Amino acid sequence: EPEVTQTPSHQVTQMGQEVILRCVPISNHLYFYWYRQILGQKVEFLVSFYNNEISEKSEIFDDQFSVERPDGSNFTLKIRSTKLEDSAMYFCASSDSETKNIQYFGAGTRLSVL
Amino acid sequence: RKEVEQDPGPFNVPEGATVAFNCTYSNSASQSFFWYRQDCRKEPKLLMSVYSSGNEDGRFTAQLNRASQYISLLIRDSKLSDSATYLCVVNGAANFNKFYFGSGTKLNVKP
């Protein structure tokens, strides 16, 4: 069964460092998403991406965040200068059509900012 | 007001019980509704989409009430493996590609 894969599973970084979280969406999917979940809290939408551009973003997704689809398979989330409060689980998701909106999630990357 | 609200629970039920969760959403123009389940420290997994006419998948039944802006999930004949957090997900009205998650309702099914 096709799945969304995310790497690494756990990323530890120092405050102020840049991190790149990687995702390989399901191959025929066209819509891509990043979410975060701070421990014990709800899943929060960060950004959606379609046709090589951001289609929606939340207020969380400020200038320190960026997304990219550098090739035909990867979808990345970059955090330029990490803060302690960026520590969370980051989930990537993909879906195959806007009308269905059914998203499939990767297993997540746990980001720990020290 | 939060975009999506759920009773956090926990709902503690015996095996075989029927249990129902509700979720309310704030924007009447939302178009897509889902129930996901999330096991501890795992990713959300789609349980079912929720359609206007209601839909059923085995022991699970979902209903949408647009007038009152809530969706429901009914689980019949609960199994131990149903223990999880159930997440209500709604898309934004004008932002069909933006999704709001509820905080989840925790279900514990006991033997």
pLDDT in tens, B56-85: 999 999 999 999 999 999 999 999 999 999
Q: Is B66 on the interface with A (CB under 8 A)?
A: no
Q: How many CB pairs under 8 A join A and B?
A: 53
Q: What is the predicted pLDDT for the residue at A82?
A: 96
The pLDDT of residue B69: 94
Q: How far is A59 from chain B, CA to nearest CA, in Å?
A: 12
pLDDT of A68 reads 94
CA distance B29 to chain A (A): 15
Which of A21, A47, A101 has the most B C-beta neighbours within 10 Å, making it the best mutation to test the interface with B?
A: A101
- Whether pLDDT at B36 is above 60: yes
- pLDDT at position B94 is 66
Q: Is the minimum CB–CB distance between B110 and chain A shorter than 8 Å?
A: no
**Locate tokens 């405050």: which residue?**
A15
The confidence score (pLDDT) of residue A98 equals 57
Report the half-sphere exposure of B53 (CA within 13 A, side-chain side): 1
Rounded Cα distance between A37 and B40, Å, is 12
pLDDT score of A13 more than 90: yes
Q: How many of the other CB atoms lie within 10 Å of CB of A76? A: 15
Chain A residue numbers touching B102 (CB-CB < 8 A): 42
Helix (H, G, I), strand (E, B) or coil at A22: strand
pLDDT at A95 exceeding the cut of 60? yes
Question: Residue A90 and residue A34: Cα distance in Å, rounded?
Answer: 7
Compute the average pLDDT of residues A9-31: 95
Q: Which residue has the tokens 């925790």?
A: B106
